[in-house]
């Protein structure tokens, strides 16, 4: 199983996010792309407008028509800023 991840604040998610994810999926022959909204982006502390739950719901709505896209709450369900290494370790534990 080949899986890619796309993390970000997704405030809001837009067609550019979806296009990059699909291009990466095709180019890298990925089975899935997992979208991982950040609870707290270390680069945007205090600058998000939408709540984490609203951003997660926006991601779910945006990806619902692509069977190769998934959404993960891994960064939303833990404390602190979202760093890639922490996200990867949390997903590995799952």
**Angle 15-27/52-63 helices, nearest 10 degrees?**
60
Asked if the model's pLDDT at residue 16 lies above 70, the reply is yes
Query: How many Å apart are CA 37 and CA 93, to the nearest integer?
Result: 18
The predicted structure's pLDDT at residue 62? 98
Query: How many Å apart are CA 75 and CA 66, to the nearest integer?
Result: 22
The predicted structure's pLDDT at residue 78? 84
Asked if the model's pLDDT at residue 93 lies above 80, the reply is yes
22-79 tens-digit pLDDT: 999 999 999 999 999 988 766 666 666 788 899 999 999 999 999 999 999 999 988 7
Q: Decide: 49 and 89 in contact? Cβ < 8 Å.
A: no
Q: Decide: 40 and 55 in contact? Cβ < 8 Å.
A: no
What is the pTM assigned to this prediction? 0.88
């Amino acid at each position: 199983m080949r899986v890619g991840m796309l993390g970000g604040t997704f405030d809001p998610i837009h067609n550019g996010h979806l296009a990059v994810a699909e291009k990466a999926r095709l180019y890298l022959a990925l089975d899935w792309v997992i979208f991982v909204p950040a609870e707290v982006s270390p680069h945007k502390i205090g600058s998000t407008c939408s709540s984490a739950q609203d951003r997660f719901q926006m991601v779910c709505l945006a990806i619902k028509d692509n069977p190769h896209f998934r959404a993960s709450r891994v960064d939303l369900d833990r404390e602190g800023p979202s760093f890639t290494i922490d996200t990867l370790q949390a997903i590995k534990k799952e």
